[in-house]
């Protein structure tokens, strides 16, 4: 079971297509001069989502 308060940010944990999309987002953002972009969460269980909505 995962912790309700733990945030998972590893891009490597995403499906390959999602990993590619994230990397492309970073590349295009950097090209546009946006340097402060990051992924806040790559996996969120239903239990964690409920916890965050309370």
Q: Read off the tokens for 9.
A: 């940010």
Question: Residue 13 — very low, low, confident or very high, per pLDDT cuts 50/70/90?
Answer: confident
pLDDT of 8 > 70? The answer is yes
Measuring CA to CA, which residue among 7, 33, 12, 32 is closest to residue 23? 12
Q: Looking at residue 33, what is its pLDDT? A: 97
Give the pLDDT confidence score for residue 38 in this predicted structure: 87
Alpha-helical regions (H) of 1-54 = 16-31, 46-53
């Amino acid at each position: 079971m995962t912790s309700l308060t733990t945030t998972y940010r590893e891009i490597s944990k995403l499906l390959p297509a999602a990993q590619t999309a994230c990397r492309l987002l970073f590349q295009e953002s950097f090209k546009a001069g946006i340097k402060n972009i990051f992924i806040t969460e790559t996996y969120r269980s239903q239990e964690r989502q409920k916890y965050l909505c309370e």
